[in-house]
Amino acid sequence: MSKSVLVTGAATGFGRGVAWALAAQGHKVVAGCQIWPQVWELRNAAMATGLEMQVIKLDVLNEIDRSNALAIEIDVLFNNAGIMESGPIVEIPMSVFRSVFETNVFAALELAQGFARAMVQRGSGRIVWTSSVAGLVKVPFDGAYAASKHAVEGICSAMHDELEPYGVEVVTVNPGAYRTGFNDTGMESMDQWWHQGDRVVTHWPVRELNRQHDPAEMIKAIVAVIEQDKPAYRTVRPASAEEMVKKEQADVWVRRA
């Protein structure tokens, strides 16, 4: 059955891939892009290939953009837009740390709240959140991002139980390291501020990102979560990341300072 799906962060990465795949399979896709040049580019790309897709400007931090999006009736919200900022927790500027939470947690929650209210009133709907493997394990030098995704995990867990009685489903997708460019630029982001002051924590993070996976695997999994009648609450890919998460979570119980 065809669904109406709003995808945030649809200009690049998983958002673009999922929006594209859903539109190709006949779903009604509303693709949200952060800035107007991205809107123009995605619209033209879709038209060039004959795909029907509604592309809107949706900067999740922009109240006007959020209000415009919330006026659209949808079956599924793919709450995907996010940013990554790296750096040691002791050193990362608080303004940078806050910016991660503003996008990944607070703006995403405002959209989820708005659509959830409409879904509760009609008794159906699904909210799919892009969390991360980083929301389930420790990630040194990406602590701000990991903390934001741990917050997403807590929000989703609560929303799932709160909205289930009203016929509204809440699920997460948890990507590991995929070649979308997100991890690469996220690691590079700390270069913007690292040399602007004296550093106490000078150990430099390892930036070997040559083992990232083909994003097609994750995109396929997300599309399945959106389309399935009763998807799993949590979808972790790749399989090796799921195994790592379960082992590390078990190890925490015997960890010593």
Residue 50 burial (C-beta neighbours within 10 Å; 0-12, 13-18, 19+): exposed
Cα–Cα distances (Å) from 92 to 34, 166, 202, in that order, read 25, 41, 12
Residue 43 near residue 55 (C-beta atoms within 8 A): yes
Q: Which residues contact 102 (CB under 8 A, 6 or more apart)?
A: 61
Which of 145, 166, 178, 233 does the annotation list as catalytic?
145
Helix (H, G, I), strand (E, B) or coil at 23: helix
Reply yes or no on whether 233 is catalytic: no
Residue 91 burial (C-beta neighbours within 10 Å; 0-12, 13-18, 19+): middle
Length of the chain, please? 257
Catalytic residues: 145
